[in-house]
Structure 1
Amino acid sequence: MKFLTAAAVMLGVASAAPTSTIEKRAQQCGQWDSKVTGAYTLYQDLWGISGYTGSQCSDITSLSGNTLNWWTTWSWSGGSSQVKSYANVVTKTNAVQITKIKSLATKWTWTQTGSNVVADVAYDIFTSSTAGGKNEYEIMVWLAALGGAGPISATGSPIATVTVAGHSWKLWYGSNGVNEVYSFTPNGANVSSFSGDLMDFFSYLIKSQGFKDSQYLVSVGAGTEPFTGSNAKLTSSYSLVPAYK
C-alpha cells in the first residue's frame, strides 16, 4: 500500500436543479480548468504533476435533477508515491458550522477502467475554525483504493475500524503538512455504489475522535487521485444535497 506523507502532498496544498442538457463545449484538459453546471463545479486540479509525464482531461456529460454525470481520463508515469491530481466535483454549500448542518445526502456510482491503475476514488471534505478561514481539517472518505494506493498516515496503521453509513471502514490519521487529515478507507471490497449521509462521518469523529462540531464547512469534493497508470477513465453518476438546521 502506498501511504502518502507530508512531503508527497505539500506540493499541492446541491440544491435541486431541473433536468439540463449540457451545452457541448471543449472538454477540460488544462491544469486548472473548471466547469460550472448547476450547483456543481468540476475541477481538473492537476496540482502534483511537476516533473512527471502524462495528461488528463475531464468533462460533464449531463445534469438531471440533482444527479451529475461526469468523467475524467488520464495517464501518468513516474513518482509512484506522488498524487498527480484530483479531478473532482465540488457542490455549492453554505459556510456554516458542522452543528448547523442537518444532512449531506449523497449518491455516487462509479466505474474505473485502465491499465496498471494506482489511484483512489474519494470524497474530500475541508473544514475551518472560522467562516471563510483557511483549511484546518481534511476528512476523506475513500470508496476505493486501487492498485495499492494508500491514505495519509502518521504511523502506517489505522487508528480504528468503524461502521459508518452502513459500511465498514478503516480510519487513518496524519498530516499533510498543513491540515490534520482523517481518512476512511473500505475495510474490505471497494464501494462502487455509495448512498448515504456524509454527516454520519462527522458524527463519528465528533463522538469518538474529539472533532469539534464548531468547525465550519469549507467544501465537499468527490473525485479521483491518480498516482500512476495509463488509459484510465473514471465515469461517475453523482449527487450531493445539503440540508441545514
Structure 2
Amino acid sequence: MAKKLIRRTTMAVLAPAMALGATVGLASAPASAAVWNSCDQWASTTLDGYKLYNNIWGSGAGSQCTWANSGTTWGVWANHPNTGGIKSYANSTKTINKSIDSLGRLTSNYNVSVPSSGAYNTSYDIWDTDHQYEIMLWVNHTGAVGPIGSWQATVSLGGHNWNVYKGTNGSNQVFSFLRTSNSSSGTVDVKPILNWLAHTKGWMPGSETIGDVQFGYEITSSSGGLNFTTNNLTVSGG
C-alpha cells in the first residue's frame, strides 16, 4: 500500500502536455554498485535513520530506479515521458514528531547534482502528523512546473529568499516556498519558516506537530532517462 509515501499534491503544469513514448530502461551505473537499489514502484528501505522511497505515484509514469549508499547519499534515475502531471517523488524522509513551538531547531544541509533538461523540482516536503498542512521548499526547479495556489509574498527566511504561494489540493493546505534563484547546495534553517507560517501569518497553529521532513525530486518529465543525485543530505531537529 502506498499510504503516506504517496505525494498527494499536484503541481500546476505551466505548458501543454505533448504525448511522447517513453523508452523503458534500467538504471545507470551508480545504482548497480549501491548498498540498496530498486526499480519497484513503492520500494523503500531505511538507512541511518532515514527512509528512502522510490515512490512512483503519478499516472502515465515511465520507469524509475532509486539507489542509496546511505540515508544521506542517494540518487534517482528516471525516464518519464514528456507529458503533464507529476509522475514521482523519490525522497529521503526524516521523522521529527515535535510541535512547531517545542522545536528548538530544525535545520538541513543539501548538496545535489541535477539535470539541465526535463521538468522537475528539487524540494523539501514537510508534513504535520495528521496531514492537514503541507510545506514545500523548492531549492531548484527546471521546465514547465509550478506550485499550487496563488503568490502571497517574497520573504527572506532560513537563509534564503523565497516566493511564497498558498493554496489547497482538496485534501490539505499547501504552502510553497520557491527559492528566487536555483541552488544546488546550501543550508536551510526550517524553524524560522515554520514560525513565520504559524505566528506571523497565522496560517497554521504553533501547536501543530511536524511529522516527516522529506527531501527529493518531484519529477514531471525526464524523457530518455535522467540522473538526480543527492551528494549529501542531513536533517536534524530537536
Q: Deviations over 1:142-167 (max 9, x none)?
A: 001211311111xxx41111001221
Where do 1:26-175 residues align within 5 Å?
27-48=37-58, 50=59, 52-62=60-70, 68-80=72-84, 82-93=85-96, 95-113=97-115, 116-128=117-129, 134-153=130-149, 157-175=150-168
Please report how far the alpha carbon of residue 207 of structure 1 lies from its aligned counterpart in structure 2 after TM superposition: 2.8
Identity %: 29
Corresponding residue of 1:222: 215
- Which structure 2 residue ranges, 5 or more long, are not aligned? 1-10, 15-32
Amino acid paired to 1:90: T
Offset at 1:88? 0.2
Cα deviation for residue 47 of structure 1 reads 1.1
Give the alignment partner of residue 204 of structure 1, picking from 181, 192, 196: 196
Alpha carbons 2:160, 2:188 under 8 Å: kept: no
More strand by share: 1
Equivalents in 2 of 1:3, 1:40: separation in Å? 29
**2:236 maps to 1:241:** yes
Q: Which runs of 4+ in 1 moved over 4 A?
A: 23-26
* Alignment partners' CA distance in 2, 1:213 and 1:158: 23
Distance 1:4 1:24, change over 3 A: closer
SS at match of 1:202: helix
For residue 3 of structure 1, give the secondary structure of its aligned residue in structure 2.
coil
In structure 2, give the amino acid aligned to 1:182.
F
Letter in 2 for 1:125: I
Q: Contact 1:118–1:229 (CA<8 Å) still a contact in 2?
A: yes
8 Å contact 1:140–1:184 — kept in the other structure?
A: yes
CA contact (8 A) 2:34 2:67 kept: no
Contact 1:139 1:181 in 2 (8 A): yes
TM-superposed deviation, 1:101: 0.9
Whole-angstrom CA distance in 2 between matches of 1:182 and 1:4: 17
TM-score normalised according to structure 1 size = 0.79
Equivalences, count: 207
Aligned-residue CA RMSD in angstroms?
2.0
Does the 8 A contact of 2:159 with 2:189 survive in 1?
A: no
SS class of match (2:37): coil
**Counterpart residue number, 1:3:** 12
Task: Tell me: CA distance 1:26–1:214, structure 2 relative to 1, closer, same or farther (3 Å).
Answer: closer
Distance change >3 Å, CA 53–CA 171, structure 1 → 2: closer
**How far apart, CA to CA, are the structure 2 residues paired with 1:200 and 1:28?**
36
TM-score normalised according to structure 2 size: 0.81
Structure 2 partner of 1:8? none
